[in-house]
Amino acid sequence: MQQAERKFHLKEFKSISHAISTYEDLDLLIKHLAEGTTRAFNAKGCCIMLLDEREKQLFTVSSYGISDEYLQKGPLFVDDQYSAMVTGKPVFIPDMQKEKNIQYPDAAKAEGIVSMLSVPIKFRNVILGVIRIYMGESRNIHEEDIDSLRVIGVNLGLVIEINGLNNFLEKVKIAMESLPLRMTQE
């Protein structure tokens, strides 16, 4: 296993933080985060997944470097007590074939994925999803990079929550505008 080398330094972290706070298009932001994270870590790929609370499943909102076949391998249920979705903490799996809690080890092997870092996307104490970085070889991740990714996950969670709130308010506004005038006057 290779020595852990820092990937996010202050310059990169500031750039990512600036993007998170200024992008107006959430889909484009998430797409750029997946691609940028893959490139920064020289990884096989990155996938950003959000939780469907009703189904208790993760669904992919953006990915980079990972095949559609792998992404559509089956539902990802949130039931593993050791997952980042449950613990709220980053989880690093150095060898996907040796980890007993991996749902689809054969699909990971076929995709060429050896190790994975999963970082929760959080808003306050609520886990909204995960950022998963897939590596084609077993390697260590620098602890400061994991901390940087944890902060990025919290900032992304805030943006996702604000975006959801804005969508809700827009729907309320449209509903209010469609009420008969007599109902909006006192």
Annotate 79-145 with DSSP letters as a single string.
--TTSHHHHSS-EEES-TTT-TT-S-HHHHHHHT--EEEEEEEEETTEEEEEEEEEESS-B---HHH
Mean pLDDT taken over the chain: 85
Whole-prediction pTM value? 0.84
Q: What is the pLDDT of residues 60-80, one digit of tens each?
A: 999 999 999 998 886 666 556
Q: What is the pLDDT of residues 1-37, one digit of tens each?
A: 556 888 777 787 788 888 888 888 888 999 999 999 9
pLDDT of the residue at 38: 93
pLDDT of the residue at 77: 61
Q: Rounded distance, CA 166 to CA 100, Å?
A: 41
* Amino acid residing at 36: G
Residue 42: Cβ-neighbour burial (10 angstroms; 0-12, 13-18, 19+): exposed
Q: Rounded distance, CA 85 to CA 54, Å?
A: 15
Domains of the chain from N-terminus onward: 10-160 (3.30.450.40)
Q: What is the dihedral of CA 112, 122, 88, 109, to 10 degrees?
A: -10
pLDDT tier for residue 130 given thresholds of 50, 70 and 90: very high
pLDDT of the residue at 106: 87
Running DSSP on this structure, what letter comes out for residue 186?
Answer: -
